[in-house]
Structure 1
Amino acid sequence: MVAAAKLANFRTQAIERRAAPRRRAANLRQRRQSGWLYRGRCQLQLAGHPRRHPDAGAGQSVRPPPRRIRQLRLRRPGGNRPRRHHAAESGVLMAAAFSFRPALRRLLIAFSLLFAPLFASADDPSIEYPVKAAYLLRFTDYVEWPAASFPQADTPLVIAVLGSDRFAQTLGQLLAGRSYHQHAFRIRTVKPGDNLDGVQMLFVSQQAQSAFHRIAGGLDDKPVLTITEAAGDMPPGSVINFVKTDNRVGFVISLANARRVNLKLSSRLLSVAMRVEGG
């Protein structure tokens, strides 16, 4: 009987020894699965409080997290995470965005008078003259005079006005404090027969067209940008002539007259003219 009991006990121990590896493997798989689920959850935990792991026994804790609020994020397979900009790169992008807007706004304001004819009343000079004065200011950005027109660094850009003191006053108010490449603007009112030496621009009002015909011949050898507002055809000697169509102010350019007085006009100015003659 004793021998039979010992034999049965021996067989039981042998069976348990053979089953032990399978039990350990099953326990290991269970612990791994529970651990991955724990690490995969999104949590928000305050620092300073030890975090207990589900597999930790009594009195055991995992390593405490850093002393800050930390959020654990579950990474998706494939790594479809948004691109993160470095601080320097973000600063450049922000600076470019904020600096571009004012620059674009200034550019649009500067070219607005050239890229679209402006509305003006057909009978009210108080509206029409400021528009034409603004055109004159813009013209200076797209006209190149010979170097001899500005012999000194402080030689002013003189604009002579024939036939309209009111326009001369409007133009003077607009150009006050402005300059052309460091050359200050000067406004002069002139009459037929006045000396036009030292004048770079001449504005001839509609009322003075007949007087202009008498003095136009004396400007053939002078680099003067002559601007008229004659109805009908381009007056002889005029480089730019203002015209009105449907209460809109535009201008026509005589490229042949500009070349004759040795003035270079920008292609941008030519592209926005209503018509270019002698091209």
Structure 2
Amino acid sequence: MKRVLLSAFSLLMCMSASAGVTFNPDKVKAVYIVRFANFIHWPQESSLKQINYCVIGNNQVTNLLESILVQHQVRNIPVVFRQVNNQEELDDCQLVYLTPESCRLGELKIDRLGLVTVSDERAFSESMGMVEFREKSGRIVPVINVDNVAKNNITIRSQLLRISKIISTPQGVEHD
């Protein structure tokens, strides 16, 4: 299963419109989210019986995530897909993907230790989020706010940081 997902991830990352392959940003985002767990370490990871990938809202990315995460494992820990509807249900989540519509609700408190926050809402990483997907030159680029990551005691491996755009909280300052 890992080999299949790695192959799918590699294929999606190599796709380009000029090669005649249809670019599907939702598929790329879903595969990125699935692969994130391989490059993230949670503070409570040694005691986890499963890694809960939670979603708030419903769109094509969430539908793809649900189908990809069936029987998925990371470091021998099962990864479970969960649709959540309120703040209390986030307590058991290690990663949460918020649809752009759910980000606009503004009522969620997603800033807590051990929770990785991901969205494709514009400016998500510059405010409360850790990872934001942006489309640039026909590619999906993860934007990672290193201050928000550190504040939640998350460790991200250099392999993910190298392929991402890195920013800090004050006005989304970029780092090279």
Q: If the TM-score is normalised by the length of the shorter chain, which range does it land in?
A: 0.7 to 0.9
1:44-92 alpha-carbon deviations (Å, 9 max, x no partner) = xxxxxxxxxxxxxxxxxxxxxxxxxxxxxxxxxxxxxxxxxxxxxxxxx
Alignment of 1:62-101 (within 5 A): none
Task: Specify which of 151, 154, 161 is matched with residue 47 of structure 2.
Answer: 151
- Flag the 1:144–1:127 CA change in 2: closer, same or farther, 3 A: same
Displacement of 1:253 in angstroms is: 0.5
Q: Describe the superposition over 1:217-266 as per-residue Cα deviations: whole angstroms up to 9, x where unpaired.
A: x3333311100101246342211100012332111010100000000011
Judged with a 3 Å threshold, the aligned counterparts in structure 2 of structure 1 residues 248 and 183 are, in CA distance, closer, same or farther, namely same
Q: Which amino acid aligns with 1:141?
A: N
Q: Partners of 1:260 and 1:240 in 2: how far apart?
A: 13
Q: 1:276 to 1:117 in 2, by over 3 A?
A: farther
Distance 1:113 1:207, change over 3 A: farther
More helix by share: 1
Pick aligned residue for 1:252 from 127, 133, 143 = 143
What secondary structure is seen at the aligned counterpart in 2 of 1:195?
Answer: helix
Match of 1:276 in 2: 166
For residues 127-184 of structure 1, give each alpha carbon's deviation from its aligned partner in whole angstroms, at most 9, with x where no partner exists: 33221111012211111111x24525xx111011111154333112112121011211
**Alignment gaps of 5+ in structure 1:** 1-104, 121-125
Which of the residues 64, 74, 81 maps onto 1:187?
Answer: 81
Q: Using the alignment, how far apart are the partners of 2:163 and 2:96 within structure 1?
A: 21
Amino acid across the alignment from 1:260: K
Change in CA separation of 1:244 and 1:118 when aligned onto 2, cut-off 3 Å: farther
Alignment of 1:1-279 (within 5 A): 109=7, 112=10, 116=13, 119=16, 127-146=24-43, 148-149=44-45, 151-152=47-48, 155-164=49-58, 166-211=60-105, 213-215=106-108, 218-232=109-123, 234-273=125-164, 275-278=165-168
Check 1:158–1:150 CA distance in 2 against 1; reply closer, same or farther (3 A cut): farther
Q: Give 1:21's aligned residue.
A: none
Measured after TM superposition, the shift of residue 110 of structure 1 is 7.7
Give the Cα separation in 2 of the matches to 1:263 and 1:233.
17
Using the alignment, how far apart are the partners of 2:85 and 2:50 within structure 1?
20
Q: Are 1:161 and 1:190, in contact at CA under 8 Å, matched by a contact in 2?
A: yes
SS at match of 2:160: helix
Say what the alpha-carbon RMSD is for the aligned residues. Answer: 2.8
Show structure 2 runs of 5+ residues with no match.
Answer: 18-22, 169-174
Q: Structure 1 length normalisation: TM-score?
A: 0.51
Q: Which has the higher contact order (CA 8 A, sep 6+)?
A: 2
Amino acid at match of 1:227: V
- Structure 1 moving runs of 4+ over 4 Å: 116-120
TM-score w.r.t. length of structure 2 = 0.77
2:89 alignment partner, SS class: coil
The structure richer in strand per residue is 2
Query: How many residues were matched structurally?
Result: 161
